[in-house]
Amino acid sequence: MQTVFEQLREKVILHLQTIYADIDLTKDYGTLADEILATMRLNSSNVGHITPHTNLWTEEDIVLITYGDSVIETTDDVVDSSNNPPLATLKVFLDKYCAKAINHVHILPFFPYSSDDGFSVIDYSTVNQGLGSWEHVQQITENFGLMADLVINHCSSRSAWFQQFINDQAPGNKYFYTASPDDDTSMVVRPRTSPLLRETETADGTKHVWCTFSHDQVDFDFRNPDVLIAFAEIIRLYLDKGTRIFRLDAIAFLWKKKNSPCINLEETHEAVRLFRTLIENVDPNAIIITETNIPNRQNLTYFGNANEAHGIYNFSLPPLLVNTLLTGDCTYLKSWMMSMPPAQNGTFYFNFIASHDGIGLRPAEGLLADEEIDSLVNCVQSFGGKVSWRSTEDGKQKPYEMNIALIDALQGTIEGPDQWQIERFICAHAIMFGLEGVPGLYIHSLLGTTNDYDKVVNTGQNRSINRHRWSYDKLVEELDDVHSLHHQVLTKLTQLLHIRRAQPAFHPNATQFTLQLGRKLFGYWRQSLNRQQSIFCVSNICNEVIEVNLSDINLIGTDEWIDLISQQHIVMEQGTIHLEPYQTVWISNMFDRD
């Protein structure tokens, strides 16, 4: 009978056989598996059984998304990173304002980088000195679970590996994917309009390096198993430093193959399965989330059979939810919700509305009509937003994402700005917080940060509009002012999170059922895993007062019901409740929490 470690080794070999089926390797699969397992420091003494379909999360799990320098100490408007590095300031902010509402923090790439606000990594093993050190990162992990990016598709053209490529020196000289300008790349799917190939002079002659995103972000060649081993070493380092959640950045583009779209290939999916196998055998509580900004059906495939990603970004939610609140019509959102399969145990949806990137429109393809997308884009532009574009296979330009701070995107409707901005913004989050899955909350949504036009001018990048950098003193001043927009938003959102985290029916895998309440009311029902608690989540998504018939919600008359948000008891005999514009109710039965 095989030992657990022998079973693991055999499983790794099977992963490798699938990944490299079409590649002539210089070493056999067993030798390669042994090198990878040794790199991960996995052996017969530290490998145990992994229980499949295990939920490693509860209703208490909330992730805050932030850059390491989203909040900084300043001295006379100059960043003071010597005595108060940004990661230390971030810890102060988290401990003071987030400890009771959030238990995980996604620190966006905190490594040395050359562009793309961290996603063009120069060195994967060290912390950007301008942010702090590994010690500062680990101090944050004392109170919060750490979510970190594994920027695995590409690295910086200024990295040591790419300099080795230019100098034709090992190991970097074989780390990057190259192609010929004469190759037919018409099928390649990309999120950018820049030329795909970067002409680079090397000691071995002129090379054309594959660049999915930008010419400063050079794509790795995973056909070389040494690249895989290098990333196994990086993964092990991140685990050693306390990473609990791995965000696999741009993972859909990992594997390239001639005469293919070079996205979502089977080799990529198998690589995710391999990373899952390695990571969970080092830490059974570690989690993988795939970042795949692609159409909804393709995105769902990264669950595999509960053997790929634990979680997938719910990329269709932001454009559909924003569209719902701007139009006052939840038809598209409701149709999508009804089509979404429940995440089986051991998997979850990672829900978000805003992030460091824009509001992606590819995940809305096939869900919103083209004219609906055009109307949405025009409305967001009228509210001061920017639009980033992509090229289609026939060379046409299509909107790829909308760049705008969420609070500004919700300042009005398609009819124009109005007085319901804060209510509409809170409504969006109340809807998201209650949905099946784990919520991810962007720091600039938590703080109600508005468009940063100066940063767009300074960087020349549309995405900078929603990447403001707060001075800690200025932020505290705003948050202490009860009349400020930022105080109101922080207070209301943290109150909602406190309520959410105490409800078993909001477990990420609890039952969810979409309610049919017409176009202007969006609702769904959640039921706890033990079936003791039911919550009916109903939101008025328009700027009119709406009367809700309790019979339409189908509350059980023998139970007592309460709106968890307002703490108002629901009197069944009244027959109706009225919802103010953009008001949400979480109607829960009274049950024995023991």
Answer whether 444's CB lies under 8 Å from 357's CB: no
Single-letter amino acid code for the residue at 316: S
Q: Around Cβ 214, how many Cβ atoms within 10 Å?
A: 16
The DSSP string of 202-245 is: ETTEEEEEE-SSBTTEEEB-TTSHHHHHHHHHHHHHHHHTTEEE
User: Minimal CA–CA distance to 310: which of 10, 35, 50?
Assistant: 50
Q: Is 249 a catalytic residue?
A: yes
CATH class given for the domain over 511-589: mainly beta
Q: Which residues contact residue 193 at a Cβ distance below 8 angstroms, ignoring those fewer than 6 apart?
A: 389, 390, 391, 397
Predicted local distance difference test score (pLDDT) of residue 335: 96
Q: Which of 61, 216, 219, 249 is catalytic?
A: 249
Task: Output the CA angle 446-452-455, nearest 5 degrees.
Answer: 125
Single-letter amino acid code for the residue at 277: T
| Full pLDDT tens readout for the chain, 594 residues | 899 999 999 999 999 999 999 999 989 999 999 999 999 999 999 998 899 999 999 999 999 999 999 999 975 544 455 578 999 999 999 999 999 999 999 999 999 999 999 999 999 999 999 999 999 999 999 999 999 999 999 999 999 999 999 999 999 999 999 999 999 999 999 888 889 999 999 999 999 999 999 999 999 999 999 999 999 999 999 999 999 999 999 999 999 999 999 999 999 999 999 999 999 999 999 999 999 988 889 999 999 999 999 999 999 999 999 999 999 999 999 999 999 999 999 999 999 999 999 999 989 989 999 999 999 999 999 999 999 887 776 777 888 899 999 999 999 999 999 999 999 999 999 999 999 999 999 999 999 999 999 999 999 999 999 999 999 999 999 999 999 999 999 999 999 999 999 999 999 999 999 999 999 999 999 999 999 999 999 999 999 999 998 888 888 777 789 999 999 999 888 888 999 999 999 999 977 765
| Domain residue limits, the chain | 63-158+220-506, 511-589
Predicted local distance difference test score (pLDDT) of residue 78: 47
CATH class given for the domain over 63-158+220-506: alpha beta
* pTM for the predicted model, two decimal places: 0.96
